[in-house]
Chains A and B, each alone.
Chain A
Amino acid sequence: MSATTLEVASPRLPGTLTRIALIGNPNSGKSSLFNQLTGLNQKVGNFPGVTVDRKTGVAQITPLLRAEIIDLPGTYSLYPKSLDERVITDLLYDRTSAQYPDFVVITADASNLRRNLLLFTQLADLGLPAVLALNMMDTAEQHGVKIDVAALQQEVGVPVIPMNARKGIGIAALKIVMGQQLAAPTVRFYEPTEELLPMIRQIRYYFNLHNDYLALHYAHQYQRISFLTADEQAYIGELVQQYGFEPTAQQAQETIDRYARINELLLNVVEVTRTDEAEPYSNRIDRVLTHKVWGYLIFFGVLFLMFQAVFAWASYPMELIDEGVAWINQLVQTNFEGPLISLLTEGVLAGLGGVLIFIPQISLLFAFIAVLEETGYMARVTFMMDRIMRKFGLNGKSVVPLISGVACAVPAIMSARTIENWKDRIITIFVTPLMSCSARIPVYTVLIGLVVPDTPVLGIFNLRGIALMGLYLLGFFAAILSALAMKFLLKTRERSYFIMEFPVYRWPRWKNVGITIVEKVKTFVFQAGKVIVAISVILWVLASYGPGDQLAQAETQARAAATQQQLSPEETENAVASAKLENSYAGTIGHALEPGIRPLGFDWKIGIALITSFAAREVFVGTISTIYSVGQDADTRTIQQKLATARDSQGQPFFTPVRALSLLVFYVFAMQCMSTLAVTYRETKGWKWPILQAVYMTGLAYAASLLVYQLGS
Chain B
Amino acid sequence: MPVSSASFPTSTARSVKDLRVGESGTICCLNDPEMALKLLEMGCIPGTQVRLNSKAPLGCPVTLVLGNGDYTLSLRVSEAATIMLRD
Q: Which residues of A contact B (CB under 8 A)?
A: 76-77, 79, 81, 111-112, 114-115, 118, 143, 248-249, 251-253, 255-256, 259-260, 272, 274, 280, 282-283, 286, 290-292, 295-296, 379, 382-384, 386-388, 495, 497-502, 504
On chain A, the residues within 8 Å of B35 by CB distance are: 495, 497, 499
Q: A386 touching B76 by the CB < 8 A rule?
A: yes
Q: A115 touching B42 by the CB < 8 A rule?
A: yes
- Please name 4 further chain A to chain B contacts, defined as beta carbons within 8 Å, in addition to the given A248-B37, A499-B75, sorted by A numbering: A112-B70, A249-B3, A290-B54, A502-B63
Taken together as a complex, chains A and B put the C-alpha atoms of A210 and B23 apart, in Å, by: 48
On chain B, the residues within 8 Å of A256 by CB distance are: 1, 3-4, 40, 45-46
Is B73's CB within 8 Å of the partner chain A? yes
> Can you list 11 contacts pairing A with B, beta carbon distance less than 8 Å?
A115-B42, A248-B5, A249-B5, A252-B4, A252-B5, A256-B45, A495-B35, A497-B79, A498-B79, A499-B75, A501-B74
On chain A, the residues within 8 Å of B1 by CB distance are: 256, 260
On chain A, the residues within 8 Å of B61 by CB distance are: 383, 386-387, 498
Taken together as a complex, chains A and B put the C-alpha atoms of A272 and B67 apart, in Å, by: 12
On chain A, the residues within 8 Å of B59 by CB distance are: 387
Mask of B41-77 contacts with A, CB within 8 angstroms, 1/0: 1110110000001101111110100011111111110
Q: B5 touching A499 by the CB < 8 A rule?
A: no
Q: B70 touching A500 by the CB < 8 A rule?
A: no
Given A81-B38, A500-B74: A292 touches B57 (CB 8 Å cut-off)? yes
Q: A252 touching B36 by the CB < 8 A rule?
A: yes
On chain A, the residues within 8 Å of B4 by CB distance are: 252, 256
How near does chain B come to A513, taking the closest CB pair, in angstroms? 24
Q: A255 touching B38 by the CB < 8 A rule?
A: no
On chain B, the residues within 8 Å of A499 by CB distance are: 35, 38-39, 42, 73-76, 79
Most buried by B among A118, A272, A383, A504: A383
* Complex: chain B residue closest to A144, CB-CB: B69
Instruction: Out of A253, A260, A295, A383, name the residue touching B74 (CB < 8 Å).
Output: A383
Q: B70 touching A497 by the CB < 8 A rule?
A: no
Is B87's CB within 8 Å of the partner chain A? no
Q: B53 touching A283 by the CB < 8 A rule?
A: yes
Taken together as a complex, chains A and B put the C-alpha atoms of A280 and B69 apart, in Å, by: 9
On chain A, the residues within 8 Å of B58 by CB distance are: 384, 387-388
Query: Interface size of B by Cβ–Cβ distance < 8 Å?
Result: 38
| A-B CB proximity, top 5 nearest | A292-B57, A502-B72, A387-B58, A255-B40, A502-B74
Instruction: Out of B37, B73, B74, name the residue touching A252 (CB < 8 Å).
Output: B37
* Complex: chain A residue closest to B75, CB-CB: A499
Taken together as a complex, chains A and B put the C-alpha atoms of A388 and B59 apart, in Å, by: 11
Q: A383 touching B38 by the CB < 8 A rule?
A: no
* Complex: chain B residue closest to A296, CB-CB: B57
On chain A, the residues within 8 Å of B68 by CB distance are: 272, 274
Most buried by A among B33, B35, B37, B59: B37
How near does chain A come to B54, taking the closest CB pair, in angstroms? 7
On chain B, the residues within 8 Å of A500 by CB distance are: 73-75
Mask of B7-24 contacts with A, CB within 8 angstroms, 1/0: 000000000000000000
How near does chain B come to A459, taking the closest CB pair, in angstroms? 36
Taken together as a complex, chains A and B put the C-alpha atoms of A384 and B56 apart, in Å, by: 6
* Complex: chain A residue closest to B62, CB-CB: A383
How near does chain A come to B83, taking the closest CB pair, in angstroms? 10
* Complex: chain B residue closest to A291, CB-CB: B57
Taken together as a complex, chains A and B put the C-alpha atoms of A354 and B70 apart, in Å, by: 49
* Complex: chain B residue closest to A282, CB-CB: B72
Taken together as a complex, chains A and B put the C-alpha atoms of A497 and B39 apart, in Å, by: 10
Instruction: Out of B6, B42, B45, B46, name the residue touching A501 (CB < 8 Å).
Output: B42
Taken together as a complex, chains A and B put the C-alpha atoms of A112 and B73 apart, in Å, by: 12
Taken together as a complex, chains A and B put the C-alpha atoms of A502 and B73 apart, in Å, by: 5
Q: B71 touching A501 by the CB < 8 A rule?
A: yes
Given A76-B41, A114-B70, A118-B41: A498 touches B76 (CB 8 Å cut-off)? yes
Q: A76 touching B45 by the CB < 8 A rule?
A: no
On chain B, the residues within 8 Å of A76 by CB distance are: 41-42
Taken together as a complex, chains A and B put the C-alpha atoms of A72 and B35 apart, in Å, by: 24
Q: A498 touching B3 by the CB < 8 A rule?
A: no
How near does chain B come to A55, taking the closest CB pair, in angstroms? 23
Q: B34 touching A495 by the CB < 8 A rule?
A: yes
How near does chain B come to A252, taking the closest CB pair, in angstroms? 5
Most buried by B among A81, A256, A282, A283: A256
On chain B, the residues within 8 Å of A260 by CB distance are: 1
On chain A, the residues within 8 Å of B36 by CB distance are: 252
Taken together as a complex, chains A and B put the C-alpha atoms of A283 and B63 apart, in Å, by: 11
Taken together as a complex, chains A and B put the C-alpha atoms of A153 and B74 apart, in Å, by: 32
Taken together as a complex, chains A and B put the C-alpha atoms of A77 and B41 apart, in Å, by: 7
Given A115-B42, A252-B3: A295 touches B57 (CB 8 Å cut-off)? yes
How near does chain A come to B4, taking the closest CB pair, in angstroms? 5
Taken together as a complex, chains A and B put the C-alpha atoms of A292 and B33 apart, in Å, by: 34
